[in-house]
Amino acid sequence: MMAMTIGGYDPSGGAGILNDIKTFHALGVYGTAVITVLTAQNSRRVEDIEPVSTNFIQKQIETVLEDIPIKFAKTGMLYSSENVRVVSEKIVEHDLNLVVDPVMVAGCGSLLSVEGYTESVKKYLLPNAVLATPNINEAEMLSGIKIDCVDDAVAAAFEIGKICDVIVTGGHLNGENVFFNGTIKIINDELIESVNTHGTGCSYSAAITAGLAQDIDLLQSIKMAGEFVKESVINGEWGTLNQFHNPISK
Ligand code: PXL
């Protein structure tokens, strides 16, 4: 099975497409990776961002899909409205099943998107997604609803759910993820106290994509992804270490 990630490059290996590729691999999926931006960062700060041109992003997608019959993709850091629009067009053109991680701000607080990104994600990308995986900050931006508790996350999920199925991730809500696909379902994941949480959002959305690519239904893919991220944090160093039932792990 194969999948594509379209997102940013984090050279520290914690987040972005390196993380996605590790996740796909750990879960038995062949990964391809289209780079939207280069970043200079570590788990504490984002030093700088060097965007790849929209035209070149498009070329990467086209060239890979010309050769490899991919049907499942996830997007991460798309950075600009123009990138969001062009990537959305390609998703539609190639009929890809898409999981959207609407990356806006890094865990350390650095901006990972520019003006107009949120509106473009709502207008172009989410209508073509099978699932969006915002954390509470991203869900606030997408819904316009301030989130301080699970009830607020439910209200935001209803709002975003008008566009596509959504799971508001519960890393900041005691591990209570709010899933909406017509009805609300609260999915609990155990939170692990750890410094190795850089990239957990990337791992989560990539793991869901890997589940879907292997014909596992959406709810089961979500539950599997929760387990995967928990193990990744437990086994992590610096960031998540994406291994799952690894026979040689200590
Ligand atoms: O975790 C969100 C994220 C996604 N993609 C890239 C990132 C980050 C956070 O730092 O750098 C490339």
Q: Separation of 231 CA from ligand 1 center, angstroms?
A: 20
Residue 65 included in any domain: yes
pTM: 0.94
Residue 247 included in any domain: no
Any atom of ligand 1 within 6 Å of the Cβ of 15: yes
Q: 177 — phi, psi (to 5°)?
A: -85, 135
Tokens describing residue 18: 């390196």
Residue 249 included in any domain: no
Any atom of ligand 1 within 6 Å of the Cβ of 41: yes
Residue 250 included in any domain: no
44-55: per-residue pLDDT in tens? 889 999 999 999
Alpha carbons 89 and 179: distance in angstroms, whole number: 26
Q: Separation of 138 CA from ligand 1 center, angstroms?
A: 13
Residue 141 included in any domain: yes
**Helix extents (H) in the chain:** 16-26, 54-67, 81-93, 117-120, 136-143, 150-160, 200-213, 218-234
Alpha carbons 180 and 188: distance in angstroms, whole number: 14
Q: Separation of 103 CA from ligand 1 center, angstroms?
A: 7
CATH of the domain at 145: 3.40.1190.20
Any atom of ligand 1 within 6 Å of the Cβ of 8: yes
Residue 58 included in any domain: yes
Closest CA to 49 of 117, 3, 96, 134: 117
Any atom of ligand 1 within 6 Å of the Cβ of 77: yes
Any atom of ligand 1 within 6 Å of the Cβ of 199: yes
Residue 246's identity, in one-letter code, is N
115-142: per-residue pLDDT in tens? 999 999 999 999 999 999 999 999 999 9
Domain, as residue range, for 82: 2-242
Residue 140 included in any domain: yes
**How many residues are present in the chain?**
250
Predicted confidence pLDDT, tens digits, the chain (250 residues): 999 999 999 998 889 999 999 999 999 999 999 999 999 998 788 999 999 999 999 999 999 999 999 999 999 999 999 999 999 999 999 999 999 999 998 877 888 999 999 999 999 999 999 999 999 999 999 999 999 999 999 999 999 999 999 999 998 899 999 999 999 999 999 888 887 778 899 999 999 999 999 999 999 999 999 999 998 888 876 555 665 555 454 4
Residue 248 included in any domain: no
Q: How many domains, the chain?
A: 1
Residue 107: CB atoms within 10 Å? 17
